[in-house]
């Protein structure tokens, strides 16, 4: 036949005389059985399916030697190491071994194995674990506890974990206590070397590894999920793929994910189907599925997820379609400011909207009005106020709702009509506060903001939230010297929150004085103060501009113009005029003159 086009297959065909079987298995006479005292040589099965994660994995069906990948085969067969696929002359696995003591407890391991009674064999048989599996792993019994020998990389055992058959929390370590701690509490640690440049399992619990060993898979185990925390990622540097399987629990899953994050892309997490009982494990699966457990594990392997910084293509597409469809639902389209011309110009309040203006032009009053109008329509709104204080924010809202000035609210001699109007405004404010939160915490962080958003979304059962920040330049930074970089860092965080959590932002920004040291320039993007990143981060950048000709007018005559100076999706230019609704802390929108 033609020479195979992959080095792993070619390596085995050069060293094993065999025949091809179904599913990509190449089977020949085991060259190691006689060397290990077997009167009759067993079969050596090698998986040579390039589509499999275990391509190149060999094992003796008589279990005369532990299975492994080409590097381990070459070690057993005393082949020239330079012929091993992926040979690395700089890799010396023996140099990684620590200094081991002279004394060991190998004889005790053998004596415990010889004491396995029939009731223990039945105990393991219920879990699809055979006497041959127990012999391979040298599992034993000391009269009360099952003994799991933690044989080290040098082939000797210095510590045994003794576990009660029916009470997994009833256990103790026997032997040299140094080897019951990190980094030695890895069961079947020798498979690290055997699986060089191949795939292996990492399990929670020795029994679960026994199930996998019975099915012919290589792997290691730790006693409990919390042992993942101290497992060094460097131990897996020579492994190509790590299948990580735990018991079905939130704690185990969290520990597995933390370890996977440290190891990286080569980890694949095996997931339990929805509805699986808490604490369920491979042992339970074997007890339930019996002879079909191998098929169930194969399915888990095929459907396992690579631990990746990227979401799966299926998840990406699903999320894209959901958000695309969501743009037409009522919850999305109801994200309106309450100003008709502004909502027409921007198609609602979506993304990051930065609004600038000169001092005392009414930026806060404008933002408070938008926020309260949205909250009255049932939209969850968080208002981060670093300018006015919670009491002033509420007073201004109440004044606008009731048409009673803040100064008149304290009077005891209000006419009946105004009292009724004030009472009506209070009722509207009270209802609105179900959806509106004012926060004055000057120690707010992006993570804390995310928690606030999660809370108000959950409380209001809404997929969308509006966040108002008054103002960008008052957000907390480490120190004033870092103000510019701090503002830009916050904008990066707002972008992330916008994308991850479907949040709309209305962010107030200060403006720079122009060449005349005044705020008289026609609005443009370059007049925003302290951040060059606004032009990159803002979906819409706006300026509330007061023409110089009206600045000296009486308060009730003052009129501002709102300009869109830059937008990702909409045309720039003036939107509308906003006449100050004095003294009620609001604005009245009018068409451009």
For 352-389, the pLDDT digits (tens) are: 999 999 888 999 999 999 999 999 999 999 999 998 99
State whether 128 and 235 are in the same domain.
yes
pLDDT value of position 323? 76
Asked if residue 254 and residue 159 are part of one domain, the reply reads: yes
Do 405 and 295 share a structural domain? Answer: no
pLDDT at res. 54: 96
Residue 337 lies in a domain: no
Among 360, 342, 365, 421, smallest CA distance to 584 is for: 365
**What pLDDT does 259 receive?**
94
Q: Which domain covers residue 140, as residue numbers?
A: 105-306
pLDDT tier at 518, thresholds 50, 70, 90? low
pLDDT in tens, 177-227: 999 988 899 999 999 999 999 999 999 999 999 999 999 999 999 999 999
CATH number of the domain encompassing residue 120: 3.40.1360.10
User: Looking at the predicted structure, is the pLDDT value of residue 479 above 60?
Assistant: no
d(CA 90, CA 102): 29
Can you give the pLDDT at residue 390? Answer: 94
Q: What is the pLDDT of residue 150?
A: 97
What is the rounded CA–CA span in Å between residue 315 and residue 317? 5
Give the three-state DSSP class for 338.
coil
Query: What is the per-residue pLDDT for 172?
Result: 97
Q: Tell me, yes or no, whether 71 and 136 share the same domain.
A: no
| 133 & 206 share domain | yes
| 28 and 144, same domain (yes or no) | no
In this predicted structure, the answer to whether residue 155 has a pLDDT above a threshold of 90 is yes
Same domain, 413 and 444: yes
Kindly report whether the global pTM for this prediction surpasses the value 0.85. no
Question: CATH code at 80?
Answer: 3.90.580
What letter does residue 241 receive in the DSSP assignment? E
Amino acid 522: pLDDT: 75
Any domain includes 324: no
Residues 112 and 82 in one domain: no
Residue length, the chain?
593
Pairing state between β 140-141 and 58-60: unpaired
Claim to verify: residue 63 and residue 194 sit in the same structural domain: no
How far is 129 from 176, CA to CA, in rounded Å? 28
Of the residues 42, 63, 90, the one at which a domain ends: 90
More confident residue, 524 or 585: 585
Domain closes at, from 306, 336, 368: 306
Cis peptide before 498 (omega within 30 of 0): no
More confident residue, 23 or 209: 209
- pLDDT above 70 coverage of the chain, percent: 94
Q: Is residue 336, in this structure, part of any structural domain at all?
A: no
pLDDT band of residue 309 (cuts 50, 70, 90) is low
Cβ distance 566 to 590 under 8 Å? no
pLDDT grade for 96, boundaries at 50, 70 and 90: low
pLDDT at 329: 80
Please report, for the domain that includes residue 483, its CATH number.
3.40.50.300
What is the tally of structural domains in the chain? Answer: 3
pLDDT, residue 593, reads 80
Phi (first) and psi of residue 419, to 5 degrees: -60, -45
318 occurs within a structural domain: no
Token couple for 165: 């058959």
Q: Does a structural domain hold residue 581?
A: no
Q: Which one of 90, 123, 139 terminates a domain?
A: 90
pLDDT at 264 over 80: yes
d(CA 40, CA 29): 10
Q: Is the pLDDT of residue 95 over 60?
A: no
Q: Are residues 36 and 126 both part of a single domain?
A: no
pLDDT at 65: 93
Question: What average pLDDT does the segment 110-128 reach?
Answer: 95
340: in domain:
no
Share the mean pLDDT of the chain.
Answer: 91
Cβ-contact 337, 518 below 8 angstroms: no
Q: State whether 113 and 77 are in the same domain.
A: no
Residue 448: per-residue pLDDT = 93
In a shared domain, residues 269 and 133: yes
Lowest mean pLDDT among 50-64, 426-440, 471-485, 553-567: 471-485
Is residue 584 one of the residues assigned to a domain? no
pLDDT reported for residue 514:
63
* Separation of alpha carbons 157 and 560, rounded Å: 83
Note whether residue 420 is domain-resident. Answer: yes
């Amino acid at each position: 036949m033609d020479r195979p086009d992959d080095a792993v297959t070619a390596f085995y065909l050069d060293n094993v005389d065999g025949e091809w079987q179904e599913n990509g298995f190449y089977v020949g006479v085991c060259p190691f059985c006689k060397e290990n005292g077997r009167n009759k040589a067993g079969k050596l099965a090698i998986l040579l399916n390039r589509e499999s994660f275990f391509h190149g994995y060999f094992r003796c069906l008589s279990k005369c030697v532990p299975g492994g990948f080409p590097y381990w085969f070459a070690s057993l067969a005393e082949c020239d190491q330079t012929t091993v696929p992926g040979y690395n002359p700089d890799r010396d696995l023996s140099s990684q071994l620590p200094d081991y003591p002279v004394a060991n407890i190998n004889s005790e391991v053998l004596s415990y194995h010889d004491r396995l009674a029939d009731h223990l064999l039945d105990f393991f048989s219920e879990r699809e674990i055979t006497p041959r599996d127990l012999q391979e792993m040298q599992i034993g019994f000391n009269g009360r506890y099952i003994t799991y020998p933690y044989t080290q990389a040098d082939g000797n055992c210095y510590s045994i974990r003794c576990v009660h058959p029916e009470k997994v929390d009833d256990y103790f370590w026997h032997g040299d206590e140094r080897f019951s701690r990190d980094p030695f509490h890895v069961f079947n640690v020798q498979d690290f070397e055997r699986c060089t440049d191949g795939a292996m399992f990492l399990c929670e619990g020795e029994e679960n590894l026994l199930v996998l060993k019975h099915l012919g898979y290589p792997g290691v185990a730790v006693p409990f999920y919390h042992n993942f925390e101290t497992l060094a990622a460097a131990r897996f540097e020579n492994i190509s793929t790590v299948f990580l399987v735990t018991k079905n629990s939130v704690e185990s899953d969290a520990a597995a994910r933390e370890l996977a994050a440290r190891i990286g892309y080569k980890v694949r997490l095996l997931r339990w189907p929805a509805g699986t009982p808490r604490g369920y494990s491979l042992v339970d699966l074997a007890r339930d599925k019996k002879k079909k457990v191998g098929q169930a594990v194969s399915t888990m392997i095929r459907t396992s997820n690579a631990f990746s910084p990227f979401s799966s293509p299926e998840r990406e597409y699903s999320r894209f379609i959901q958000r695309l469809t969501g743009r037409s639902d009522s919850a999305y389209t109801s994200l309106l400011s309450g100003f008709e011309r502004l909502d027409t110009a921007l198609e609602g309040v979506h993304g990051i909207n930065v609004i600038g203006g000169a001092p005392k032009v009414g930026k806060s009053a404008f933002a408070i009005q938008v926020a309260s109008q949205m909250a009255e329509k049932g939209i969850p709104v968080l208002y981060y106020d670093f300018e006015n204080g919670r009491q002033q924010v509420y007073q201004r809202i109440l004044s606008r709702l009731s048409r009673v000035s803040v100064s008149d609210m304290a009077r005891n001699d209000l006419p009946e009509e105004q009292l009724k109007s004030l009472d009506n405004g209070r009722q509207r404010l009270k209802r609105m506060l179900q959806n509106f939160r004012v926060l004055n915490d000057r120690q707010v962080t992006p993570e804390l903001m995310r928690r606030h958003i999660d809370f108000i979304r959950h409380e209001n059962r809404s997929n969308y939230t509006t966040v108002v920040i008054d103002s960008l330049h008052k957000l907390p930074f480490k120190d004033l010297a870092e103000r510019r970089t701090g503002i830009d860092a916050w904008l990066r965080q707002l972008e992330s929150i916008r994308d991850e959590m479907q949040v709309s932002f209305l962010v107030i920004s200060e403006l720079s004085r122009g060449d005349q040291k005044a705020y008289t320039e026609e609005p443009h993007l370059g007049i925003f103060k302290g951040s060059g990143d606004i032009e990159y981060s803002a979906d819409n950048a706006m300026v509330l501009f007061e023409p110089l000709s009206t600045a000296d007018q009486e308060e009730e005559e003052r009129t501002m113009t709102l300009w869109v100076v830059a937008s990702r999706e909409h045309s720039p230019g003036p939107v509308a005029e906003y006449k100050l609704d004095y003294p009620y802390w609001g604005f009245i929108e009018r068409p451009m003159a």
